Amino acid sequence: MIATLGLAALWLAAALAALQLLGGFLALRSPENPLAMAVRPIAVVQGGLVAVAMICLVVVFCQTDLSVLLVAMNSHSAKPLLYKFAGAWGNHEGSMLLWVTIMAMAGGFVALVERRLPEPTILATLAAQAFVSLGFYAFLLFASNPFTRLDPVPVEGQGLNPLLQDPGLAFHPPTLYIGYVGLSIAFSFAVGALLTRAVSPTFARAMRPWVLGAWIFLTLGITFGSYWAYYELGWGGWWFWDPVENASLMPWLAATALLHSVSVLAARNALRAWTVMLGVVAFSMSMVGTFLVRSGILISVHAFAVDPTRGQFILALLAINIGAALTIFALRAATVTEGERFALTSREGALVFNNVMLTGALGIVLIGTLYPLVAETMGAQVSVGPPYFNPATAIFVLPMLVVLAIGPLLRWRRDSMGRIGKLLLAPLALGVVALGLFALQPIHLLPLLGLGLAAALVVATLIPLWGRNLRTLKLPTWGMVMAHFGVALALAGMASDSAFTSEKLVAANVGDKVELGPWSITFDRVEPVPGPNWTALEATLHASYAGGEPIELKPQARAFWSPPQPTTESALATRWNGQLYTVLGEQAEDGRWQLRLWWKPFVTLIWLGGMLVALGGFLALLGRVASDLRRLVAIDKIAYRRTRQGR
């Protein structure tokens, strides 16, 4: 019953999307067309209907309604409620429904609140949004229907991949998807502005909150996903350059570039065509990511099902959407007039550098991710890993981070290095001292550069606050400083993790003591423990840092019974200066247990930095939205007074 309701809502929403596209298209010709007037309400209702469909899916998962194929394939009545709930998107069909839900709701939200731009531009934007949505509706309804029924109804479901049975599943996919799909708004704005020849600072100011919002969620999603992989996979790493991780990194790189170029367009009316182009590229990267993850050409914990027709469907969608957008861009780029001029040494110049370097890094990641797929079609099986990605991206990212220290200090339009040189002396000195100190230790080149740069950046990113009245400083400025400071912290964490991690792999008897860096770890016992849908062997360790109070750690080797699959659950001890990471391996024939231990100084700064970056974005968004609201209220007041005077 509920499944039927969900499917009906989905079909209705798809029909409304078609109507929305038609209405937006007619509006391009005659804005007074009645259907054109209905575009905004249609977009809102469409968003509501898809939300109903998504809620229906969550409900059938929570009820474990096994007459729904998807539930039978991916759920189990003994699963804890949290995973029944989150399991709704822990599979291919459900995650695509979540994608469409966020896309339609974002469109509805734009229709509801966006009043700054000329009406034709908004209608064209909503038409573009409907165009993209329609493709995904078709994909959902014809190739990945989440509400397909199963007859006869099975007695029990097959369960959820145990690696996904973690509270992280409740937050990570929705967060990342809001980011991915939020970029579709930037894409539609770009197309809408091109179609109606309205690329202007107003357009940039209207687009900026959406880009910011999507980017905040992407940042959070990536930060969180990285931490999840770190503790769940038990390999002690936080980034693997796995194609699926790259699929989330590429939109982030593009969105970061877009975020900075849209600021230039809003403040200085420059980089016009480039900003529009980035809007198209950013969402294209989201779709490339979806294609990689959802097509089944990759086999990973993220790729739920292998079905080649789905891959072709998404590839076709990708080609149509990107192709159409690029065609419009090519046809209209000439009408986007030249922006304001600026000198090389200026805020704009620094932001152009940032954009170019981010695009370069994006190219490196894109090529490295797609290369194995291309090579495979030519008969060679290749994998591309950290030895390629680390140095190749660093070539672009490290210079960009140097400019990150300088750019925020520069004035718009024209400036000189002489003016800001003095300010940069302190961070420069700190960076050089750090480099000198760490160079004495056996550290590889990249982490060494990272440490030196991080030391300089921690100070340099705070200089924009120097000499300012902190009480009157605007929120977006606070946000920028905080986000840049977060980048410095994250860089410090990454460099420290690769430079100073100590690792030990031992076979230990119960009662043994292991020394690792400043830690002394006692292996107390191993005992079986039961869980709701697993049983585990749990080790108890007592770790003491530099002779201090011992901390208890309980790493587990879990055996899930539906589906039957073993997983390792790491146990972490977090201190202000790093994390102790412990994994329990198997028992050898002689009765000894394998223990793998890592001491990772300051590794937590990576995620703390990531959170600060997102929080900085949030402050900026808050500041922008607040000032927009104030302006709207002021305009309304003036309009109100005028009508009264006119009477």
Partner 1 sequence: MNSPIKAKHQRLVLVLVALAALIGAGLLAAWALRSQASYFYLPAEMAANPPEVGRAVRLGGMVEAGSIKRDTDGVTIRFVITDGKARVPVRFKGIVPDLFKENSGAVAEGKRGADGVFVADNLLAKHDEKYVPREMKDMTAGQARQTVEETK
Nearer to partner 1, 84 or 558 (CB): 558
Q: How far is the CB of 519 from partner 1 (least distance, A)?
A: 18
Nearer to partner 1, 67 or 161 (CB): 161
Nearer to partner 1, 155 or 380 (CB): 380
CA 619 to chain centre: 18
Footprint on this chain of partner 1 (rule: CB under 8 A)? 161, 163, 234, 271, 274, 298-301, 304-305, 338-339, 341-345, 352, 355-357, 359-361, 363-364, 367-368, 371-372, 375, 380-385, 387-388, 391-392, 395-396, 413-414, 416, 505-507, 563, 565-568, 583, 585-586, 588-590, 592, 594, 596
Q: Which pair of structure tokens corresponds to residue 597?
A: 């231990």
Q: Which pair of structure tokens corresponds to residue 267?
A: 């403040």
Q: Which pair of structure tokens corresponds to residue 196?
A: 């109606």
Q: How far is the CB of 117 from partner 1 (least distance, A)?
A: 25
Residue type, 418: G
Q: How far is the CB of 618 from partner 1 (least distance, A)?
A: 30
Residue 105 CA to residue 174 CA, distance in Å, equals 13
Q: How far is the CB of 211 from partner 1 (least distance, A)?
A: 19
Which has the closest alpha carbon to 161: 447, 567, 621, 461?
567
Q: How far is the CB of 596 from partner 1 (least distance, A)?
A: 5
Show the 3-state SS of 424-445.
HHHHHHHHHHHHHHHHCCCCCH
Q: How far is the CB of 47 from partner 1 (least distance, A)?
A: 32
Q: How far is the CB of 262 from partner 1 (least distance, A)?
A: 16
Nearer to partner 1, 348 or 497 (CB): 348
Which has the closest alpha carbon to 579: 610, 609, 605, 542?
605
Say which residue the tokens 């929705």 belong to.
174
Which has the closest alpha carbon to 129: 183, 93, 92?
183
According to DSSP, the residues that pair with 584 across neighbouring strands are 595
Nearer to partner 1, 455 or 571 (CB): 571
Phi, psi values for residue 419, rounded to 5°: -65, -40
Q: How far is the CB of 374 from partner 1 (least distance, A)?
A: 10
Assign residue 423 a region (left: φ > 0; alpha: ψ between -120 and 50; beta: otherwise): alpha
Which of the 8 DSSP states describes residue 139?
I
Q: How far is the CB of 386 from partner 1 (least distance, A)?
A: 9
Residue 477 CA to residue 197 CA, distance in Å, equals 31
Cis bond upstream, residue 152 (ω within 30): yes
505 membership: H or E segment, kind and range: strand 502-508
Phi, psi values for residue 38, rounded to 5°: -90, -5
Nearer to partner 1, 344 or 635 (CB): 344
Q: How far is the CB of 363 from partner 1 (least distance, A)?
A: 4
Which has the closest alpha carbon to 613: 497, 496, 491, 463?
491
Nearer to partner 1, 413 or 542 (CB): 413
**What crossing angle do the helices spanning 2-29 and 92-113 adopt, rounded to 10°?**
40
Nearer to partner 1, 381 or 469 (CB): 381
Helix (H, G, I), strand (E, B) or coil at 583: strand
**What crossing angle do the helices spanning 119-138 and 39-62 adopt, rounded to 10°?**
30
Q: How far is the CB of 375 from partner 1 (least distance, A)?
A: 8
Residue 139 CA to residue 313 CA, distance in Å, equals 7
Nearer to partner 1, 91 or 125 (CB): 91
Q: How far is the CB of 283 from partner 1 (least distance, A)?
A: 19
Nearer to partner 1, 212 or 271 (CB): 271
Contact 573, 551 (CB under 8 A): yes
The DSSP line for 253-316 is HHHHHHHHHHHHHHHHS--HHHHHHHHHHHHHHHHHHHHHHHSSSS-STT-----HHHHHHHHH
Nearer to partner 1, 337 or 441 (CB): 337
Say which residue the tokens 């390999």 belong to.
235
Nearer to partner 1, 552 or 586 (CB): 586
Cis bond upstream, residue 555 (ω within 30): no
Q: How far is the CB of 594 from partner 1 (least distance, A)?
A: 5
Contact 354, 400 (CB under 8 A): yes
Nearer to partner 1, 119 or 340 (CB): 340
